[in-house]
Amino acid sequence: MLTYRLASISRSNEFISMSIETYLASIPEAYRSDFLSLMAIIQKNIPEGFKEVESYGMIGYVVPHEIYPDGYHCTPKLPLPFLNIACQKNFIAVYHMGIYSDETLLNWFLAEFPKHSSKKLDMGKSCIRFKHGHPIPFELIGQLAKKMTVKDWIDRYEKMYKHK
């Protein structure tokens, strides 16, 4: 298990800190196995350079300051977020900024999802929701996790948010 901590921002914009172990311990036992399986498939597939941390009260995969010193434009003290996973009251969520920012990647995911799940896709702009008790298409999430490298994400992010 990981033991490092990272500051994040609460809804009141105060910096808080939570270890990954504390987050995992807070997940109800009924959902913990699926959540840990989701973490494992992401850890196995996410490209080198992303770092697993607690981020915004979730498990996050970020571009650390050692690679991208500017950090996140909204809060430069924080590393650049890329992918987060969370266990919510009614679902497990995957927040993938690549899907939000890359129409080609989004279209790939939309085409692939029905091949991996008989359930209707429940998705927002970057949030993919899996209701508790419904199967999570782990293989598909693994494929999604490895579709964008750190360099790809930084390049896309800078095109979207950096004003030159």
CA–CA distance, 30 with 118 (Å, rounded to integer): 22
Q: Which of 15-24, 43-52, 91-100 has the lowest mean pLDDT?
A: 15-24
Q: Which CATH architecture has domain 16-159?
A: Alpha-Beta Complex (3.90)
Instruction: Name the nearest CA neighbour of 141 among 88, 83, 91.
Output: 83
User: Residue 85: which residues within 8 A CB-CB, separation 6 or more?
Assistant: 35, 38, 39, 42, 58, 59, 92, 93, 94, 95
Angle at 145 between CA 15 and CA 106, to 5 degrees: 100
Q: Give the tens place of pLDDT for each residue, 111-160.
A: 999 999 999 999 998 899 999 989 999 999 999 999 999 999 999 999 98
Q: With H, G, I as helix, E, B as strand and everything else as coil, classify residue 48.
A: strand
**pTM listed for this prediction:** 0.86
CA–CA distance, 33 with 53 (Å, rounded to integer): 19
DSSP state of 75: B
